[in-house]
Amino acid sequence: MRKRKYKLNENIFDDITNESAWVLGFIYSDGNIRCAEDKRGGKNYGVGFHQSKLDYDALCKIRNILNSDAPIKLYNDGYISLNFNSKTLVCKLIDMGCMPAKSLILTYPDYLNNKTQQHFIRGLFDGDGSFSYTNHDKKITIVGTKSVCEGIKKVTDHIGIISRIYVQGKVFVYTIRRWASIYKFFKYIYEDTDDGIRLNRKYEHFKQAEHKMLEFTYRFPNKIN
């Protein structure tokens, strides 16, 4: 057996924990699954990430959860990358429904329990979600396939979050536009989490907005929705 160049827990997804569920959500939304023919006619298997350098902490946390010492590479264009070369890991992800060229065909995983869904959805949001607000508008969006967006909506409907899904070109967008539901969404995805399984930039943005939400509630108690 060929010795690995970098350490890696290739069996991380054999047991879905809070940590691996978050990583899985991040891979679903913003990871790249590689299973391509190499120059020698064999197969090149890997899982990779290409992010803004602003999200360096996310790649460090993913690397830590996978117990890896693979390097995070910085490019001149302000982007960073992290790659794990592993046939075992790729084959496991494919078995779990996360395959190469996945952006238009992913289905929401039906093997997650109530707790791990929370961390998976946070991974989706950290990878391909956004939150913005002004004095006149506010919204959360997560881009995905129809199945993934419907899966998120089914979970959040159950906890009283008002959302909708719309089509944007070839993809679907899950969106929330009411303050009360935005607040519920963030309280849900961040409940019982620590710094090791969330993207700092988006968490801090929520904490800043939380102050705005409380201020808005105090000033206009009947308009929080």
Q: Is the predicted pLDDT of residue 99 greater than 70, yes or no? A: yes
Cα–Cα distance between 13 and 120 in angstroms, integer?
12
> What spatial distance separates the first Cα and last Cα of the chain, rounded to whole Å?
59
3-state secondary structure of 213: helix
Q: Per residue in 185-223, is it b (16+ CB within 10 Å) or e — as a string?
A: bbebbbeeeeeebbbeebbebbeebeeebeebeeeeeee
In angstroms, what is the C-alpha Rg of the chain?
Answer: 18
Q: Is the predicted pLDDT of residue 191 greater than 60, yes or no? A: yes
Q: Which of 8-12, 57-61, 75-79 has the lowest mean pLDDT?
A: 75-79
Q: Does any domain span residue 68?
A: yes
∠ Cα 163 167 173 (to 5°): 45
Residue-wise pLDDT for 133-158, tens only, equals: 887 889 999 999 999 999 999 999 99
Which pLDDT value is given to residue 46?
93
Which pLDDT value is given to residue 2?
61
Q: Is the predicted pLDDT of residue 225 greater than 80, yes or no? A: no
Q: Does any domain span residue 7?
A: no
Which pLDDT value is given to residue 107?
95
Q: 221 falls in which pLDDT band (50, 70, 90)?
A: very low
Per DSSP, which regions of the chain are E strands?
31-37, 43-52, 72-74, 79-84, 129-133, 138-144, 164-168, 171-176
Which pLDDT value is given to residue 41?
63
Q: Does any domain span residue 192?
A: yes
> For the chain, what is the total number of helices (H) and then of strands (E)?
7, 8
Domain CATH code at residue 182 = 3.10.28.10
Q: Does any domain span residue 137?
A: yes
Range among 36-40, 120-124, 221-225 rated most confident: 120-124
Which pLDDT value is given to residue 59?
97
Cα–Cα distance between 201 and 77 in angstroms, integer?
20
Which pLDDT value is given to residue 184?
92
Cα–Cα distance between 24 and 3 in angstroms, integer?
26
Q: Does any domain span residue 224?
A: no
How many domains does one find in the chain?
A: 1
Q: Is the predicted pLDDT of residue 122 greater than 70, yes or no? A: yes
Q: 216 falls in which pLDDT band (50, 70, 90)?
A: low
Q: Which of 71-75, 79-83, 120-124, 132-136 has the lowest mean pLDDT?
A: 132-136
Q: Is the predicted pLDDT of residue 130 greater than 90, yes or no? A: yes
Q: Provide the domain limits for residue 125.
A: 18-219
Q: Does any domain span residue 77?
A: yes
Q: Does any domain span residue 13?
A: no
